[in-house]
Amino acid sequence: MVSMRIDGLDVQAEEGWTILDTCRFYGIDIPTLCHEDGLTPYGACRLCIVEVGEGKNAKLVTSCTSPAQDGLRVRTHSEKVVSTRKMIIELMVARCPNSKTVQDLASKFGVQQVRFKPKYEECILCGLCVRMCKEQMMSGAIDFVGRGKDRRVTTAFDEKSDICRTCGGCMYICPICELRCQGPEPPGVICGGCLDMTPTCLDHYDDAQCFMVESGCGTCVRESKKVKEKEEER
Ligand code: FES
């Protein structure tokens, strides 16, 4: 057993638990975006930050990747944590304003304005799809390529993957395309992005890799074209 203190409360954690595991066990709410039970923690979104240590040695760490340690002092809602988390959410809204998941986070944590230019990106680089494909679907058809602003998720050589089984696991777990805000705007949202909806799918994907093509997710340009063509045929 590991003994530590979270928000002034003496707690005990099992060996191998992370700070996030411990907080959840004790009912302390920590927001997460790139964390999913059953997938290896990745530490991409930084939303789960907490403050550890005291005085000058205090620092922010991601609770989903930081192990519970004996004697650790953790603050989950310090001023620094709250303000940094709001900034992280603000950056998320700027990157992916069409994501319902991100909009919900902004509403929940009181992000009222976004000071950065909206990018309307299709991917927030959380890596959930990559881990889902590799670890749960045992496929590994997609991965990250590039660095910095060029970082993105794709198949090998941007070509149709022979090992993709079109299971849809990547889309199922994606916080951006799976839960895209469908409008109309609920009170409190700050983007207005649903008025200018773009396709949910990654356009560099081949048609065959979109499991929604047959059923239609309702926001895809290809889908709208199909409907339009059918209407014109009538
Ligand atoms: S949930 Fe911990 S970094 Fe994303």
Domain that holds residue 20: 2-77
Reported as a single tens digit per residue, the pLDDT across 114-160 is 898 888 888 899 999 999 999 999 999 999 999 988 999 988 888 88
> Quick check: is 57 in a domain?
yes
Please tell me the distance between residue 95's alpha carbon and the centre of ligand 1 in angstroms: 17
Residue linked to tokens 């809204």: 93
Please tell me the distance between residue 227's alpha carbon and the centre of ligand 1 in angstroms: 39
Identify whether the C-beta of residue 92 lies closer than 8 Å to the C-beta of residue 105: yes
Among the listed residues 115, 116, 90, the one whose alpha carbon sits nearest the alpha carbon of residue 102? 90
Among the listed residues 83, 46, 85, 80, the one whose alpha carbon sits nearest the alpha carbon of residue 63? 46
Q: Which of 24, 33, 85 to mutate to test the pocket of ligand 1 (most atoms within 8 A of CB)?
A: 33
Nearest CA to ligand 1 atom 1: 32
Looking at residue 103, what is its pLDDT?
Answer: 86
Overall domain count for the chain: 2
The reply to whether ligand 1 has any atom less than 6 angstroms from the CB of 46 is: yes
> Quick check: is 193 in a domain?
no
Identify whether the C-beta of residue 173 lies closer than 8 Å to the C-beta of residue 36: yes
The reply to whether ligand 1 has any atom less than 6 angstroms from the CB of 111 is: no
**Are 229 and 132 contained in the same domain?**
yes
Looking at residue 208, what is its pLDDT?
Answer: 41
What CATH number did the domain enclosing 226 receive? 3.30.70
> Quick check: is 194 in a domain?
no
Q: What is the pTM of this model?
A: 0.75
**Are 60 and 144 contained in the same domain?**
no
**Are 73 and 153 contained in the same domain?**
no
> Quick check: is 99 in a domain?
no
Round to whole Å and give the CA distance between 180 and 211: 16
**Are 227 and 133 contained in the same domain?**
yes
| pLDDT < 70 positions in the chain | 178-234
**Are 73 and 131 contained in the same domain?**
no
The reply to whether ligand 1 has any atom less than 6 angstroms from the CB of 85 is: no
**Are 136 and 69 contained in the same domain?**
no
What CATH number did the domain enclosing 34 receive? 3.10.20.740
